[in-house]
Amino acid sequence: MKVGIITSGGDAPGMNAAIRAVVRYAIPRGIETIGIERGWGGLLDNSIIPLTRKSVEGIIHLGGTILKTTRCQEFFTPRGYYKAMKVIKENKINALIVIGGDGSMWGSVQLNEVSGIPIIGIPATIDNDVAFTDETIGFDTAVNTCIEAIDKIRTTARSLERIFLIETMGRERGFLALQVGITAGVGVILVPEIKYNIEEVCERLRDFKQRGKRTSLIVAAEGIGDTSTIAENIEKITGFEIRISKLGYIQRGGAPTGRSRLLANLFGTYAVDLLLKGVYNEMVGIKDGKIISTDLKKVINTRKKLDMKLFTMAKELAV
């Protein structure tokens, strides 16, 4: 069997650890592994490299992905799928392991439907917005990167006695913002899934002030709208000064945490086990501490839910 490995979409810390796990677990089990570079783009370009046990040495602790990744429009067209099929056939690839987020799982389903190539998905994105897995590779790392950044901003916030609004990644979902908010001890967390009431936010900030809270922070996912406008509105209503800090691309980077690396090991080896058992078109995941797999179509058609209890807890513990 010859398996192609793809990392697709935005990069996430731990993707390299997952590539390493797949390669090193697959080869002794008689599977040949190759890497497809630059996501779907490389599949169209026939940009393929061999992946041996040696070629994945010394990468477990590196952020990003040695296979690179791009967002590729052409892939999602009839011509794109056709090209991809041709490359798959020519290279005699028997199955694909696709490491990425929600969009990559969606692309996997499309490709499979058109080409019939068996695919196993491994969820890896800092956004943690993939259904049927409690956690994605890279999420824990991004949470820690954000709270370390907030710990830095905290000293300035305290020295200046200003409110800081910290913008995390998350165009559509607030998993990262929520996890960061509760673990950074932040009382106001704004996410795209929940309509916020600006009067309520202001009331909370006034309450913080009154109780003499030394640092008032707001954590907001980028998807809630233009944070500058929100900050201005709060300033107008409360008279408090607000500074904005967009954490930006550092959230994607850095060495993966132990947890992101462990997930990568568990997911990567399980993906190979599925292939060996002849199970196809599923996505690996972790559910209640157990490694499972779920039909890819079910994955892309299910919207993962935020844990609303964490909001209440974050709010309650912050004052």
| Residues 27/52, Cβ–Cβ less than 8 Å | yes
**Span from 16-24, 73-81, 115-123, 277-285 in contact with a copy of itself (CB under 8 A):** 16-24
Q: Choose between 140 and 193: whose C-beta lies nearer to a copy of itself.
A: 140
**Does 197 participate in binding a copy of itself (rule CB under 8 A)?**
no
Among 73, 77, 155, 302, binds a copy of itself (CB under 8 A): 155
Sign of CA dihedral 247, 250, 255, 260: positive
HSE of 43 in the Cβ direction (CA atoms, 13 Å)?
Answer: 36
Q: How far apart (Å, rounded) are the C-alpha atoms in residues 187 and 190?
A: 10
Min. distance of Cβ 152 from a copy of itself in angstroms?
Answer: 3
| List 11, 102, 127, 140, catalytic entry | 127
**Span from 98-106, 107-115, 223-231, 311-319 in contact with a copy of itself (CB under 8 A):** 311-319
Q: CB atoms < 10 A from the CB of 28, how many? A: 8
Q: Is 289 left (phi over 0), alpha (psi -120 to 50) or beta?
A: left
Site for a copy of itself in 47-66 (CB under 8 A): 53-54, 57-58, 60-65
Would residue 127 show up in a list of annotated catalytic residues for this protein? yes
Site for a copy of itself in 107-146 (CB under 8 A): 134, 140, 143-145
Binding residues for a copy of itself, total number by CB under 8 A? 81
Sign of CA dihedral 113, 171, 70, 125: negative
For 284, the 3-state DSSP assignment is strand
Among 161, 172, 203, 232, binds a copy of itself (CB under 8 A): 161
Among 86, 204, 206, 246, binds a copy of itself (CB under 8 A): 246
The residues pairing with 28 across neighbouring beta strands, listed in sequence order, are: none
β-bridge pairing 282-287 and 119-123: parallel
**Does 249 participate in binding a copy of itself (rule CB under 8 A)?**
yes
Q: Choose between 69 and 281: whose C-beta lies nearer to a copy of itself.
A: 69
Site for a copy of itself in 63-102 (CB under 8 A): 63-65, 68-70
The residue ranges of DSSP E strands in the chain, in sequence order, are 2-7, 32-36, 48-50, 95-100, 119-123, 163-168, 188-190, 217-221, 242-246, 282-287, 290-295
Q: What single-letter amino acid sits at 228?
A: S
Q: Choose between 117 and 129: whose C-beta lies nearer to a copy of itself.
A: 129
**Does 19 participate in binding a copy of itself (rule CB under 8 A)?**
no
**Does 250 participate in binding a copy of itself (rule CB under 8 A)?**
yes
Min. distance of Cβ 45 from a copy of itself in angstroms?
Answer: 13
Active site residues: 127
